[in-house]
Amino acid sequence: MPPYSQVKSLTTDYLIIGSGVAGLRAAIELGQHGTVMVATKDLPTESSTEYAQGGVAVALSDEDEIGIHFEDTIKAGDGLCNEESVRILVSEGPERIIELINWGAEFDKEGSKLAFTLEAAHSRRRVLHAHGDSTGREIERVLINKVSRMERVKKASFTMALDLIVEDGVCKGALLLKGKEVILCYSKATLLATGGAGQIYMRTTNPRVITGDGMAMAFRAGAYLKDMEFVQFHPTALYSKNVPAFLLSEAMRGEGAILRNINGEAFMKNYHSMGELAPRDIVSRAIISEMVRTQSAHVYLDLTHLDEDFVKRRFPTIYNTCLRFDFNITKQPIPVSPAAHFIMGGVETDVNGKTNIEGLFSAGEVACTGVHGANRLASNSLLEGLVYGFRAAREAIKYVEESEKFLFPKLISCEKPSEIDLEEVIKIKNDIKQTMWEKTGVIRCGESLSKAMEKIFPYYERFSKFFFTDPLIVELKNMVTVALIITLSALNRKNSVGAHYRTDFKEKLPSWQNHTRVIKKDGEAVVEYSGIK
């Protein structure tokens, strides 16, 4: 490996890391103002966005209002949403969706009108969907098409960001890895759009690329991570041996699917008046309770009472995928249990995607604008990616246009990359995933979280101080960092709020309205509580 002063360097006006809905929406804006590089770890489509099923929530139906979408989002957030962020989401959302339709997005219709479905904790039918249950794929298709026609936007596939370049408190790009080559990519403004961190859990709906890289890179660079204890577990992921935790959309319950325990009993009404359509955290905990009570590893999602043709037409991807795993959703109740799905916390930003590091912006699931509070309302995150990807891009343009000139460092000094045996990497990855699942999962307590810390901290000590260039090891280092920060935040929040539920502090006790902020001090992760909104 050559010293880094000799490696290839390139310059772009704007660097976007990640090609999901947030990164691509930003690229469309930025590409009109300068050169843009979209660096993405895998194929451009490989992202959570691509697999999003249920739909995108937007107040566009005749029976809906922006104010009602606002109220539902605030209610789901359990008192911790930033009201300004939510107001922006719901009021700018319709414009972003109409624009997407004008670019060619084909959402499902009933006759000549858009079809809206119902999902948990929504008081109106407001969720648009495409090809039944492939909403994310349709959005990704349209955005990629649009970006492909923009001359100044370069898509760098299979290009992984290793670390941000920060000099004198200003972000000046990122260190990228393409194959075995390390590249210094200098940029006037950098946007993190790397999505969430689901892969740090043993059971997750998230694709393989979602390993918390953006959060870990930002933390290493000195950015604030906010409210990381709030992890959303989706109630219904397929449960079967040697089968991935494939998502069975909440929209299925919206269309009448019933949750039953292994004795065939419908149980949700015993836990919440909204039954199957109660908020996600309540449904996930109810399922765990039933699993414990009946000593089973799963419950069932039952659609067998619904019209077979309707189910096949409305959920074609889910129907066909389950069939591949030998489950016919029209003929038999499907074994399901919760899985890590979304993280409400992330890199702290203002409502314009600005982080505490000059030149660094963040949007989508990696960011925390406060829009989701302690619990996300279903189908609000595709909308978040569109609205805040757009806003972060606008802010980055303003920043670049108002700055006098940009000086890029000539040399970046990095340590020689360290090596670790790959078999060991896989072993440690599984250990982290299992620990997070068992000890920092749907239901937590001080004892379980302390045990998780005992397990994770030595790994953090071992990996955080070294520089790696093997993608698997880089991912492991990022996963360990994010696992540590989630657990530390959960340990410090001695309350149960939204998706964070502790059996030793079951209530909202004094100071529950504080937000958690984790910062790096002398190489250590340190928790700060603050009155920040």
The structure tokens listed for 206 are 């998230």
Q: Which of 25, 280, 314, 517 is catalytic?
A: 280
Which one, of 479, 482, 484, 485, lies nearest residue 518 by Cα?
A: 485
| Residue 155, helix vs strand vs coil | strand
Distance CA(226)–CA(349), nearest Å, equals: 9
Query: Per-residue x/- mask for ligand SIN, residues 374 to 413, rule CB under 6 A?
Result: ----xx-x--------------------------------
What does the binding site for ligand FAD look like in residue numbers (CB under 6 A)?
17-23, 39-42, 46-49, 51-56, 135-136, 160-161, 193-195, 205-206, 209-210, 213, 247, 342, 364-366, 379-382, 385
Which one, of 223, 235, 465, lies nearest residue 345 by Cα?
A: 223
Q: Which span sits near ligand SIN by CB under 6 A: 7-15, 248-256, 294-302, 329-337? A: 248-256
Segment 308 to 367, residues that bind ligand SIN, using CB under 6 A: 341
Measured from the CB atom, the residue of 329 and 484 that comes closer to ligand SIN is 329
Measured from the CB atom, the residue of 206 and 481 that comes closer to ligand FAD is 206
Active site residue 493: no
CB of 206 to ligand SIN, least distance (A): 11
Residue 141: CB atoms within 10 Å: 17
Q: What is the tally of helices (H) and strands (E) in the chain?
A: 14, 21
Please say whether the beta carbons of 481 and 497 come within 8 A.
no
In this structure, the strands spanning 524-530 and 367-368 are unpaired
Is there binding between residue 229 and ligand SIN (CB under 6 A)?
A: no
CB of 177 to ligand FAD, least distance (A): 8
Q: Which does 212 bind (CB under 5 to 8 A by kind): ligand FAD, ligand SIN, none?
A: none
* Residues listed for the chain: 533
CB of 87 to ligand FAD, least distance (A): 18
Determine phi and psi for 280, rounding to 5 degrees: -55, -45
Measured from the CB atom, the residue of 378 and 412 that comes closer to ligand SIN is 378
CB of 334 to ligand SIN, least distance (A): 14
Measured from the CB atom, the residue of 174 and 258 that comes closer to ligand FAD is 174
Measured from the CB atom, the residue of 42 and 83 that comes closer to ligand FAD is 42
Measured from the CB atom, the residue of 87 and 341 that comes closer to ligand FAD is 341
- Measured CA distances, 357 to 40, 126, 361, 463 (Å): 22, 37, 8, 24
Distance CA(518)–CA(533), nearest Å, equals: 15
Is there binding between residue 82 and ligand SIN (CB under 6 A)?
A: no
Distance CA(454)–CA(350), nearest Å, equals: 34
Q: Which does 488 bind (CB under 5 to 8 A by kind): ligand SIN, ligand FAD, none?
A: none
Distance CA(416)–CA(468), nearest Å, equals: 8
| Residue 242, helix vs strand vs coil | coil
- Point out the residues that are catalytic: 280
Positions that interact with ligand SIN (CB under 6 A): 53-54, 249-251, 341, 378-379, 381
